[in-house]
Amino acid sequence: MEALFTEEHRQLRDVVRRAVDKHIAPLARSLDEEDRPNGAVLDLLHELGVLSLCVPERLGGSARDAIACSIVTEEISKASPAIGVMCVANWATMNVLAARPSPVTDAMLGRWLARPTLGSYCLSEPRGGSDAGNLETRATRSGSDYIVNGTKCWITNGGVSQVAVVVAATRPGVGARGTTAFVLDTGTAGFEVTRLERKMGTRGTTLAEIRLTNVVVDESHRVGAEGEGLSLAMESQNISRVALGACCVGLAQAALDHAVAYGNERTQFGQPIGKFQGMQFKYAEMATKIEAARSLVYRCARVINDTGAASRESRRLAAMTKLFTSDMAMDVTIEAVQAFGGCGYIQGAPVEMLMRDAKVFQIFAGTNEIQKNTIAKLLQT
pLDDT in tens, 329-378: 999 999 999 999 999 999 989 999 999 999 999 999 999 999 999 999 99
Which pLDDT band holds residue 132 (cuts at 50, 70, 90)?
A: low
pLDDT (tens digit, 9 = 90+) per residue, 40-75? Answer: 999 999 999 999 999 999 999 988 899 999 999 999
CATH of the domain at 27: 1.10.540.10
Are residues 310 and 221 part of one domain?
A: no
Are residues 364 and 245 part of one domain?
A: yes
How many domains is the chain built from?
3
Which pLDDT band holds residue 225 (cuts at 50, 70, 90)?
A: very high
What is the 3-state secondary structure of the chain? CHHHCCHHHHHHHHHHHHHHHHHHHHHHHHHHHHCCCCHHHHHHHHHHCCCCCCCCHHHCCCCCCHHHHHHHHHHHHHHCHHHHHHHHHHHHHHHHHHHCCCHHHHHHHHHHHHCCCCEEEECCECCECCCCCCCCCEEEEECCEEEEEEEEEEEECCCCCCEEEEEEECCCCCHHHHEEEEEEECCCCCEEEEEECCCCCCECECEEEEEEEEEEEEHHHEECCCCCHHHHHHHHHHHHHHHHHHHHHHHHHHHHHHHHHHHHHCEECCEEHHHCHHHHHHHHHHHHHHHHHHHHHHHHHHHHHHHCCCCHHHHHHHHHHHHHHHHHHHHHHHHHHHHHHHHHHCECEHHHHHHHHHHHHHCCCCCHHHHHHHHHHHHHC
Residue 87 has pLDDT above 70, yes or no: yes
Residue 238 has pLDDT above 80, yes or no: yes
Which pLDDT band holds residue 129 (cuts at 50, 70, 90)?
A: low
Are residues 353 and 242 part of one domain?
A: yes
Mean pLDDT of 183-211: 97
Domain that holds residue 193: 120-228
CATH of the domain at 130: 2.40.110.10
Residue 266 has pLDDT above 80, yes or no: yes
Are residues 152 and 114 part of one domain?
A: no
Mean pLDDT of 153-158: 96
Of 2 and 362, the structure prediction assigns the larger pLDDT to 362
* Domain end among 160, 193, 228: 228
Are residues 114 and 25 part of one domain?
A: yes
Are residues 110 and 124 part of one domain?
A: no
Are residues 150 and 100 part of one domain?
A: no
Are residues 282 and 237 part of one domain?
A: yes
Are residues 205 and 333 part of one domain?
A: no
Return the pLDDT at 49: 96
Are residues 220 and 353 part of one domain?
A: no
* Domain end among 198, 228, 258: 228
Are residues 245 and 348 part of one domain?
A: yes
Residue 295 has pLDDT above 80, yes or no: yes
Residue 30 has pLDDT above 80, yes or no: yes
Return the pLDDT at 51: 96
Return the pLDDT at 229: 95
* Domain end among 65, 85, 118: 118
Return the pLDDT at 362: 98
Return the pLDDT at 2: 75
